[in-house]
Amino acid sequence: MLNPEAIDAFLFDLDGTLLDSDDQAVERIAHRLAKLGLKEPTRTARRLVMAAESPGNALVTALDLVGLDALLGVSRLLHRLRGLRSQANFALVPDTDTAVRALSERFRLAVVTTRGRHDAYAFLDAFGLTHVFEVVVTRESTWRIKPHPAPVLHAARALGVEPQRCVMVGDTTVDVRSARRAGAWAVAVLCGFGEKDELERAGAHVILPSPALLPAFLQDTAL
């Protein structure tokens, strides 16, 4: 059970967690799958997109290390394939801004994302959340990105908090696995790409419909 007294910090993913995802890319894939006669084409499309996330992240990491990602634009291509919004159409998951501001009154907060630094700060600035997060960990911050534990561990060190007293909040198995490998708590949310059964199998300690429900959940847990 997630005990609020055992928590010092919350680490938030962006896409699908705080930053609302654009489902148009998934629906395009689902439309093609439906033409092939596949059952549950939307669910299959989501799973195909998510299955590509870990190797896609690994590829972006490798290209970043040799300075080629900016030249080849691989991360931008992967964002489009996964239906991730660009700066021109950033949208907030409803009520998450209120939730993180409430959490910041009691806990340390950080962002842990596979987005680049420029995109991450553009999103936070757009919704007046930059001052709420003490630390922003992006794909430039560590040599390895989620599902490797390095980004979660980096955020914990930057906050001066033990990993086991941190909660990683994210919408995919990549976020859950990164948290568990770092020794942190994992809270999964269903407002993005992940599905409940796969998030449970990945080892999520708690699954909520949205991060907006975190303050109420912690209050109920403390009673």
**18 touches 12 (CB < 8 A):** yes
DSSP state of 110: E
pLDDT at position 168, please? 98
Give the chain's radius of gyration (CA, Å). 17
Per residue of the chain (223 residues), what is the pLDDT tens digit? 788 899 999 999 998 899 987 555 556 665 666 666 766 665 665 666 665 555 544 444 554 544 444 434 445 555 555 545 555 578 899 999 999 999 999 999 999 998 889 889 999 999 999 999 999 999 889 988 899 999 999 999 999 999 999 999 999 999 999 999 999 999 999 998 888 999 999 999 999 999 999 999 999 886 5
pLDDT at position 75, please? 52
Provide the token pair at 143.
């040599």
**119 touches 133 (CB < 8 A):** no
DSSP state of 203: T
pLDDT at position 73, please? 47
pLDDT at position 192, please? 87
pLDDT at position 69, please? 45
Cα–Cα distance between 21 and 40 in angstroms, integer?
A: 20
44-50 contacts at long range (C-beta below 8 A, 24 or more positions apart):
46/193, 46/195, 47/195, 49/25, 49/81, 49/82, 49/83, 49/193, 50/172, 50/173, 50/193, 50/194, 50/198
- Where do runs of H (alpha helix) occur along 83-171? 96-104, 117-126, 150-159
Q: What is the dihedral of CA 91, 94, 97, 98, to 10 degrees?
A: 160
pLDDT at position 20, please? 87
